[in-house]
Copies of this chain bind each other. A is one copy, B any other.
Amino acid sequence: MDFTTKFAGHVARVERGIERLLPPADATPGRLHEAMRYSMQAGGKRLRPVLVLATAELFDPEGRSDPLPAAVAVECIHTYSLIHDDLPCMDNDDLRRGRATCHKAFDEATALLAGDALLTHAFALLSTAYAPDPRLAVALCGQLAEAAGTGHLIGGQMLDLLYEKKPGVTAEILDQIHARKTAGMIRAPLVMGGLIGGAPPPAIDTLHAAGRHLGLAFQIVDDILDATGDATTLGKTPGKDARAGKATYVSLHGLEAARRAAGEQSAAALRALQALPGDTAFLTALVKSLDTRKA
């Protein structure tokens, strides 16, 4: 099966999982469940949940533990962070993935609560779906809580806000923001997939390293696309960071150096993947496709 077909298969599975594993839209309070589903069904690359599925498969091709609830939990966290990030008191964005943002389609209070609810639901999903294997369930909750916490995702958002309008953001500070804001939530799906597949501790360490490099590559490419992409392809307004006077990898290092750094981080991720057992062809192709993506 070629990469594109296989990727589409994983995405379809994630989308069926979202349909099945979120509270039903007709359950009370319907408006809240509709808002959660609206944002979760807005599409996007589904990169993080696909990483969970593909990594689990690497170690356990028989699929004895279902990685789908963990994949959906990861997407819940990613989506909640986008909903809150789009709110007027944060980035104040009207458009996300080419559609109205949650607070535009509903209202601010509903969007706030829908984000809170997705964050909470991620842990509800992990602690119910993996309850028969409590050790695995706790490890997954711990990984996701760490990746979503002040040491990573939320901490990265806060640093982003703090340095947004400040001149003099150094390369070190920007690296720290990137490592927290993006890399944590790229690394966690790889590690969670490994845990579900029953990967031994050294392989978990390798997944940590691969995830970190992949996350950094992903964020640098994001910065490149913000500087060079167009709205139709991106599904969001490009050049926003530059206009907001926000430091990006491109504004600090220039386009050429950014392209080189993205390539280096991708290559480091690929080297780490080569140390893993099983058929890493899909993950390898995925890392390469992210380096050359246009959106």
Interface residues, chain A, CB within 8 Å of chain B?
23, 27-29, 31-33, 36, 80, 84, 87-90, 107-110, 112-113, 115-117, 119-121, 123-124, 126-128, 130-131, 134-135, 137-138, 141-142, 144-146, 148-151, 154-155, 157-159, 161-162, 176
Contact = CB atoms under 8 A, between A and B. Distances in A.
A88 B36 CA distance: 21
Contacts of A134: 134-135, 137-138
Copies of this protein, total: 2
Given A89-B112, A119-B120, A145-B120, A31 B127 contact: no
A162 B31 contact: yes
7 contacts: A28-B155, A29-B155, A36-B150, A109-B161, A117-B150, A120-B150, A137-B141
What 6 A-B pairs are tightest by C-beta distance, nearest first? A134-B134, A124-B145, A89-B108, A127-B142, A127-B141, A29-B158
A176 to B, nearest CB: 8
Given A87-B112, A89-B108, A127-B141, A117 B29 contact: no
Given A126-B141, A137-B137, 20 more contacts: A29-B150, A29-B155, A29-B159, A31-B162, A32-B150, A36-B150, A84-B113, A88-B89, A89-B108, A112-B112, A116-B154, A120-B148, A121-B149, A123-B144, A124-B149, A127-B145, A134-B134, A134-B138, A137-B141, A138-B138
A191 to B, nearest CB: 14
Nearest to A109: B89
A142 B128 contact: yes
A113 B149 CA distance: 10
Contacts of A121: 145, 149-150
